[in-house]
Amino acid sequence: MIVDDQYYDVIIVGTGAGGGTLARKLAPTGKKILILERGVFPLRESSEAQDIELFKKETFHAPEQWYDENGEPFRPQTSYCVGGNTKIYSGVLMRMRDRDFETVQHQDGISPAWGLKYSDFEPYYTEAEKLYQVHGKLGDDPTEPAHSEDYSFPPVEHESHIQTVVDGLSKQDIHPAYLPIGLGDQGRTDAEDTGITPALKYENVTLKTSAHVVCLHTNPSGTAIKAVQAKIGDQSYLFLGDIVVLSCGAINSAALLLRSQNEKHPNGIANSSDQVGRNLMKQQLSVVVQLTTDPNSALFQRTVSVNDFYWGDKHYHYPMGHVQNAGGILRDVIFTEAPPVFSAISRLLPSVGIRQLATRSLGWWLQTEDLPNPNNRIRFVGDKLHIDFTQSNVEAHDRLVYRWIDTLKQVESLHPGMFNRVSHPRSDMPVQVVAHQCGTCRFGEDPKTSVLDLNCRAHEVDNLYVVDSSFFPSNSSISPALTVIANALRVGEHLIERLK
């Protein structure tokens, strides 16, 4: 074991939306900051990943095995590289609705209230939107919460096929809205170009890649983290620091805490409440495909969202969820890694090649909130990581799918020559697709029912923080990315005061 000869004020583990943003926030303080990243710099931007063969090669699947609740192994679709999952995300950066922070009744149960409210996050949402260059437009979405400032960048215009659908939706008294999306000079903004790269311009910031953190070590009393153990190549290193921040993703942050058990923390660090690893949430994610008679480029951005069914409708008085277009299929990395979508279309049109199908398809993502369940959890059997997960709100999601397909049919009836209306294939994302994972280290004021306090500091460990989506007590029906970024900025402000 090699003990690093440097001592750091802050050690950040992970470079995704939380860790990368926090590094950018703390870099100007002059404090000595170490960033540890399991992966390396990616070879190319996600927006350049236009090879339809990606899904066959499992390019963005982690080089390890996890196990489902039946003990079956799988390779998770998650990204270990500088920038984390923001290197393969869609770039959609949407605020949670103000009601998402309150107690919400769903058909399958309660979505619990947060210890903080929308007003507590609002200034950090604004800061995050400026930092990640979010393009958007206010006033079209009836569920949009109040903004203290307008978007700094104009919305991205719709591709012609999407514009046709948008016009048809408006005729049905539906409210299509421009999708807020982070875009810079190089394409989608992410935690590498917006967080890590600017942070590394400061001499006080050090990044070590290929550094797989395997254990946290506490002081003898168990009240503080004294060292972070990482494997770099074939050698183990110990890094010492005053404050340790985890941003490994909801699954891996919880797994690291569980693996780091010791005499003072026999069930895992910060886990006397037995809440670490529990309440894993992962939205129900489905894709519905429209087939068109004429081709599109298959390279356009996502641009439109529909939240008319977010809180339900006159036929169903429980929340259903969020709809957005999938963007050009050749540009959407996660979409291209979803073989069920293409196999569904291929069964309908077996004589047409996959690339041609991609240019004659419009995809729609449908997202429904998953409720916290303590039995949905991360656990270890020996050294094997198991994911126990059962979805909730299944009927609500099915209703959203059927309602959306009916809505698309109404649009298509206005343009019978433009759409192939033979079917609308649907594909549901399995547990292996860990997009939008959250929970596992929820924050709250009661140490008996939460892992972190409202500043995302572990109740039991004074210098340990978690800034990925682990802290979510509920997960809404939209992407957690912007809320993770805003929270990292909020926690960063707290840490700046503490570091003084």
Residue 346: band (very low, low, confident or very high) from pLDDT cuts 50, 70, 90: low
Mean predicted lDDT score pLDDT of the chain: 90
Task: Give the pLDDT confidence of 150-174 residue by residue, as tens digits.
Answer: 999 999 999 999 999 999 999 999 9
Give the number of other Cβ atoms within 10 Å of residue 119's Cβ. Answer: 12
Give the number of other Cβ atoms within 10 Å of residue 402's Cβ. Answer: 13
Residue 46 has a pLDDT of: 42
| Contact yes or no for 483/95 (Cβ under 8 A) | yes
| Contact yes or no for 100/110 (Cβ under 8 A) | no
Written as six digits, the tokens of 47 are 């927006």
| Contact yes or no for 289/420 (Cβ under 8 A) | no
Residue 52 has a pLDDT of: 46
Percent of the chain past pLDDT 90, that is, above it, reads 76
Residue 38: band (very low, low, confident or very high) from pLDDT cuts 50, 70, 90: very high
Written as six digits, the tokens of 11 are 């050690």
Helical pair 17-26 and 481-499, crossing angle rounded to 10 deg: 30
Distance CA 238, CA 362 (A): 50
Task: Give the pLDDT confidence of 369-401 residue by residue, as tens digits.
Answer: 999 999 999 999 999 999 999 999 999 999 999
Residue 59 has a pLDDT of: 56
Residue 54 has a pLDDT of: 45
Written as six digits, the tokens of 35 are 């960033």
Residue 61 has a pLDDT of: 67
Which residues lie closer than 8 Å to 416 by C-beta, 6 or more apart?
none
Residue 44 has a pLDDT of: 55
Which residues lie closer than 8 Å to 296 by C-beta, 6 or more apart?
159, 160, 161, 328, 359, 360, 362
Q: Is the pLDDT of residue 177 over 70?
A: yes
DSSP code at position 210: S
Q: pTM value?
A: 0.95
The phi and psi torsions of 228 (rounded to 5 degrees) equal -115, 125
Written as six digits, the tokens of 170 are 């408006």
Q: Determine the CATH number of domain 2-499.
A: 3.50.50.60
Range with the poorest average pLDDT among 24-33, 206-215, 418-427: 418-427
| Contact yes or no for 442/473 (Cβ under 8 A) | yes
